[in-house]
Amino acid sequence: MLAIKNKFLTFKVRRGLHGNRYLPKAFSYDELKKVGVIFTFDDLKKHEAVKTFIKALKNDGIEVKALAYKPKDTQNFEFYFDFFEDSDITLFGQMNSPYMLGFLKQNFDYLVCLDDVLNLYMQYMLVNAKASVRIGAAQEEAHFNNFFELMIKPANTTNTAELSNDILTNIRKISGNEQ
């Protein structure tokens, strides 16, 4: 059954990639109003890095909405983030999570993915979320780089704290607002 679900999701992701034909709009850091953050629960260290990243954006006056994917047998450490699970997606790839559906209805200036490797659910979120610019880690496999308009390559991509710091530094530099 999981194979069937994955085939439907893969089809939807491919269709979504081909449908994303627009010119991205980069914002000055001071103009950013709303940023979406997506990630997969991996461990407590990543959880803390995501919280720190979100806090930095909020301290700069930016509204942040976060959504996490919680794989089976992983822990949601503090219930700090809205999340979805495998069971929230039907056999035919339909989304049943109110958190996921609500997240996908919002318009973001930037959508940041804090996963070093894109799973199928992060791919789905990247092609279906409404964002002017999608930002994430440069991927080992080149075809995954189609999911982003801006890619960051930190020295250690598996370190979420380093990745999120590099993302924040780069979006500030691009807009001429180095803080």
For residue 57, the domain's CATH number is 3.40.50
Whether 96 is in a domain gets the answer yes
Q: Is the pLDDT reported for residue 177 higher than 60?
A: no
Q: pLDDT tier at 18 (50, 70, 90 boundaries)?
A: low
pLDDT tens per residue across span 140-168: 887 788 899 889 988 776 789 999 999 99
Whether residue 78 lies inside any domain: the answer is: yes
Work out the percent of the chain whose per-residue pLDDT is above 70.
89
Q: Look at residue 175 in the predicted model and tell me its pLDDT.
A: 66
Q: How much helix, strand and coil, in percent to the nearest 5, is found in the chain?
A: 45, 20, 35
Instruction: Say if 179 falls within a structural domain.
Output: no
Q: How many domains does the chain have?
A: 1
pTM, 2 dp: 0.87
Q: What is the pLDDT of residue 2?
A: 66
Q: Which residues contact residue 86 at a Cβ distance below 8 angstroms, ignoring those fewer than 6 apart?
A: 2, 71, 72
Please give the backbone phi and psi of residue 35, each rounded to the nearest 5 degrees, phi first: -125, 135
- The 10s digit of each residue's pLDDT in 20-76 is 555 567 778 888 999 999 999 988 899 999 999 999 999 999 999 999 999 988 877
> What range does the domain containing 134 cover?
2-174
How far apart are alpha carbons 2 and 91 in whole angstroms?
7
Residue 115 within any structural domain of the chain: yes
